[in-house]
Structure 1
Amino acid sequence: MKMDNSPARGTRDLLPAAVATRDRVLGLIQDVYRRFGYQRIETPALERIERLTGGQGGENEKLLFRVLRRGLDEQLPAGPLADLVDLGLRYDLTVPLTRFYSQYRAELPQPFRSFQFGPVWRAERPQKGRYRQFYQCDIDLLGEPSVLAEAELIEATTEALAAVGLTGTEVRLSDRRFLAALASAAGVPDEATGGFFVTVDKLDKIGWEGVERELVDGRGLPSAVVTSARDAIGALTDLPAVKVADVLADAVPALPDAVAEDLATTAACLAALPGDVRWSFDPTLVRGMGYYTGQIFEVSHPDSAGSIAGGGRYDELVGRSLGTEVPACGFSIGFERIVDLVAADAPGERVAVLFDADVPVERALAVARRLRAERGGVVSPVRRGGKFAAQLGRLESWGFTGFVPVRADDADLPDVRPLRRD
């Protein structure tokens, strides 16, 4: 029987050209984050199951890949699933970061600026743009209680996006505490607040008509409550930075002054960013993770159907591991989405040392070594084989831009010849 050589469903292989583009994008992002003081760390792919199922990951916990305990026979014993697993594959990088920080806090600078890049796994239903294994690119600032964290994270991330060539981005800003106060002021019962904002978060997809229908018919909220919330939200769009605090205070009187002032400070920092970064206060922005406690933000791009970056403050998450509350804020770039938006790398010079069968290997290697020293770039020995024109075509398709023919009777090193298909 012939073995299926395709990758596991929901995963993919990456060819050299794709990896080269990804490496370039990651390098540009990392250079920006390094200038802001973020230090790269790494955490394992596997975490203890109790940490991954502790209510920190919201809906993502339902997409968790669980790992059976070692030593189980093929015939699984009877009993609850929880008794059969002790580990799981991480579904994001934030939950492992909180465990990492709790373990090594005494050895880390304070506040701690963390940068992470690595694969995560979710049992998604595979479809275009959604994979079961994908990469996340996160920065987090732990130990900073003020909105310096929010403002710096947004500035660093928008600068990183600009560095990879993404212009015309827009930052959307909101706050979980504001959302709760707005829902309460509109008359949404506490027990219905979560569902209310899950529906409001669909506004850009189904419009206000669809949102109202789902809230009234699907969630049983009175029409008057929905209308009140819609009016309050409508009054909070397109706010300039200087008016954020006053307008929020008027629209939601129960909102604490400190929340409105913090939002105004972050808005002022966004308004001062150089370049073409646009921003807006978005009263419908919710974000799905259950651990956010304060400001939340997303970055959109005109060529992407979804956000290309997002994050927020999660002050209570580290404390669950450490036993002491630690202020924390993070921002995650949608690495897979931005790679799809940037142009593929133009190949640099790649030279093939095309040597005949009777040329000693040591000579072929010496020629390649000399060319690397003289020209830089990529130089690889390749043995001659098959029809000459066909082999040149293959070299070009593999990304080579030139070749040097090396024969046993050559006294001097020939010049590099460009590759052209005949």
Structure 2
Amino acid sequence: MRDFLPADKTRRERVLAVIRERYRAHGFDEIETPVLEEYGRLHAGIGGDNEKLAFNILKRGLDADAVRAAADAPALDVAALADLGLRYDLTVPLARFYATHRAELPSVFRSIQIAPVWRAERPQKGRYRQFVQCDIDIIGDASARAEAELIVASLDALDALGLEGGSIRINDRRLLDAMLDLFGFAGDERPGVLITIDKLDKIGPSGVVAELRDRGATATAADALEAFLTRPQAGEQHPFGEPQIRAALPDGVPDDVVAHLVSLGATVAAARGGGDVPLVFDPFLVRGMGYYTGTIFELAHPSVGYSLGGGGRYDGMIGRFLGQDVPAVGFSIGFERIVDLLADASGADDIAIVLVHDRDVPMAELLAHKAAFLQSGARVRLEQRTKNLKGLLERAANDGYTAFATLPAGATPGQLEVKPLG
């Protein structure tokens, strides 16, 4: 968990403002949910490994005997100790929010959530215990149009930030399930198989197959997967179109799922004015969250070797809270990763002036000069002159100020010379 100095905070807020503005332009409306959710909701088996990283909050009024009893149980009974937890993502709170407020929301609800989340990570570069997520979700639309809206809005936000050239890797969990069935993996071993397949980019086909065999996966299924991964066209990037999608898949996968993806590609192409569509089909894109039920996607950019966001369809989650299934799909931009790529997003075009004044300038004069600059649209900071004027101005520049003016007693606004900093 980090502190942010003024310049860093300014940069972060500018990036957030661009993302928020582009999302709103695409018809999404912002909501806010509490940082706390009920323990049972956060640990309902839908958050994947993130559930293990949740910060849990002890029940109020617990005495020492209750703590000892829970600790002495054969397996630690956390539910007996905690009734709340800090949210580890924004999707579970959104599902609860929609179930609570459905009657007050449109039949197809497009939401924005931009807020911090918490996970008990091992801190390291790019991985924090508190970080900001920027989510957009569409609830109530099962069509490819909803997924296309998310993709187009996210690419638009990236373009507006100056990160043109991004692309979206796309797959469908139903295709993964169909492939595992065709290869011969048993149902109870598939979660572990998917965890291993998710490492394909890091350890390659031979590493994936070796790990599956070490895990005791069905031998004939591992052989079938190995043959598929090592076929001549395996490992190629697949531009988005029906021939490319079918060439990347084994025979026998569901035609309706392929048709859904083809429709998604056509919709994105139309929304972006035709031409090249920044979509790539990846038949072994997994996405780790257990709640995904259909299309999944990840945001890639040529400047970095890791994803800058992702999401997918989670049609089964809201039904757990509402009692009936509601289609839902979401996309989350990795804000912390993106803001680190935008070191120049400090608003250098804005006018931010440090007004350096002598000690004897009357307060009424100070505020009158400040008001004159404010009326011109500038941001103004008052600073009393010090012996080390250079140090004062360097600190102001580090805080995002772009100019300064010195103010002696008795000066009029027209007499002040504004000079650039740096």
- After TM superposition, the score normalised by the length of structure 2 is 0.90
Q: 2: CA distance between counterparts of 1:114 and 1:52?
A: 20
Alpha-carbon distance, 1:227 to partner: 2.3
Residue in structure 2 matched with residue 379 of structure 1 by the alignment:
380
The residue identity in structure 2 corresponding to 1:352 is V
Given that 2:11 and 2:347 are in contact with CA atoms closer than 8 Å, whether structure 1 keeps it comes out as no
Tell me the CA shift for residue 391 of structure 1.
Answer: 3.8
Deviates more, 1:222-231 or 1:204-213: 222-231
Amino acid in the other structure paired with 2:223 = A
Instruction: Pick from 191, 196, 214 the counterpart of residue 199 of structure 1.
Output: 196
Which stretch of the first structure deviates more once superposed, 14-23 or 269-278?
A: 269-278
SS of 1:43 mapped into structure 2 = coil
In the alignment, does 2:309 pair up with 1:309?
Answer: yes
Displacement of 1:237: 5.4
Corresponding position: 1:123 with 2:115: no
| Alignment match, 1:406 | 407
Q: Quick one: which amino acid aligns to residue 304 of structure 2?
A: S
What is the distance in 1 between the residues matched to 2:390 and 2:331?
Answer: 51
8 A Cα contact 2:405 2:419, kept in partner:
no
Using the TM superposition, give the Cα deviation of residue 164 of structure 1 relative to its aligned residue in structure 2, in angstroms.
0.7
Counterpart mapping for 1:214-253 below 5 A: 214-222=211-219, 223-230=222-229, 234=234, 238=238, 240-243=240-243, 247=247, 251-253=250-252
Deviation at 1:147, TM superposition (A): 1.1
Q: Which runs of 5+ in 1 are unaligned?
A: 1-10
The residue that corresponds to 1:299 in the other structure is 299
- Separation in 2, partners of 1:404, 1:358: 16
Per the alignment, in what secondary structure is the counterpart of residue 262 of structure 1? helix
- Residue in structure 1 matched with residue 359 of structure 2 by the alignment: 357
Contact 2:269 2:276 in 1 (8 A): no
Find the counterpart in structure 2 of residue 111 from structure 1: 108
Contact 1:167-1:277 at 8 Å conserved across structures: no
The residue that corresponds to 2:17 in the other structure is 27
Q: For residues 37-92 of structure 1, what are the alpha-carbon distances to aligned partners after superposition, in whole Å with 9 as ceiling and x for unaligned?
A: 10000001000000000011011000010011223357873222321111000000
8 Å CA contact retained: 1:355, 1:406 = yes
When residues 121 and 302 of structure 1 are mapped into structure 2, their CA distance, relative to the original with a 3 A threshold, is same
Output one character per residue of 1:184-215: Cα deviation in whole Å (capped at 9) or x when no partner.
Answer: 10111111111112111111111112111111
Alignment pair present for 1:37 and 2:27: yes
Distance across 2 between alignment mates of 1:85 and 1:21: 37
Query: Given that residues 237 and 283 in structure 1 are in contact (C-alpha distance below 8 angstroms), is that contact kept between their aligned partners in structure 2?
Result: no
| Deviation of the 1:402 alpha carbon | 2.8
Greater displacement, 20-29 / 311-320? 20-29
In structure 2, how many angstroms separate the alpha carbons of the residues matched to 1:240 and 1:389? Answer: 56
Q: TM-score, normalised by structure 1?
A: 0.90
CA distance in structure 1 between the partners assigned to 2:387 and 2:235 by the alignment: 73
Cα displacement string for residues 280-332 of structure 1 (whole angstroms, at most 9, x for unaligned residues): 11011000000001111111112223211111111110000000110111111
Q: What amino acid does structure 2 have at the position aligned with 1:225?
A: A
Change in 2 beyond 3 A, CA 1:285/1:365: same
The 2-side partners of 1:276 and 1:168 are apart by 11
Judge conservation of contact 1:354–1:382 (CA < 8 Å) in 2: yes
Is 1:257 the counterpart of 2:255 in the alignment?
Answer: yes
Kindly state the Cα deviation for residue 362 of structure 1 after the two structures are TM-superposed: 2.1
Structure 2 unaligned blocks of 5 or more: 71-77
> Are the counterparts in 2 of residues 171 and 277 from structure 1 also a CA contact under 8 Å?
no
What is the letter of the counterpart of residue 362 of structure 2?
P
> Is the Cα contact below 8 Å between 2:144 and 2:263 reproduced in 1?
yes
Kindly indicate whether the alpha-carbon contact (under 8 Å) linking 1:45 and 1:90 is maintained by their aligned counterparts in 2. Answer: yes
Question: Are residues 369 and 267 of structure 1, via their aligned partners in 2, closer, same or farther at CA, if it must alter by over 3 Å?
Answer: same
The amino acid of 1:319's aligned partner reads G
Deviation at 1:413, TM superposition (A): 4.8
Q: Which residue of 2 aligns with 1:7?
A: none
AA matched with 1:126: P
Rounded to whole Å, the distance in 1 between the matches of 2:397 and 2:140 is 52
Matched letter for residue 10 of structure 2:
A
Count matched residues.
408
**1:284 aligned counterpart, secondary structure:** coil
Is the partner of 1:119 in helix, strand or coil?
A: strand
Among 151, 157, 170, which residue is 2:148 paired with?
Answer: 151
Deviations 1:233-273 (A, max 9, x none): 9398525413257557x8231x3332121112112334443
**CA shift for structure 1 position 276:** 6.7
Q: CA offsets, 1:166-192, max 9 Å, x none? A: 122121111111100101101111111
Corresponding residue number in structure 2 for 1:338: 338
Q: Does the 8 A contact of 1:351 with 1:402 survive in 2?
A: yes
How far has the Cα of 1:420 moved from its partner? 5.7
2:370 alignment partner AA? A
Cα distance, 1:77–1:301 mapped onto 2, change above 3 Å? same
Instruction: Give the 3-state SS of the residue equivalent to 2:101 in structure 1.
Output: helix
CA distance in 2, matches of 1:270, 1:398: 41
Residues 400, 419 of structure 1: 8 Å contact kept: no
Q: Residue 96 of structure 1 aligns with which residue?
A: 93
Deviations 1:12-38 (A, max 9, x none): 111111222211211111121112110
Match of 2:133 among 125, 132, 136: 136
**Equivalent runs, 1:386-397 vs 2, <5 Å:** 386-397=387-398
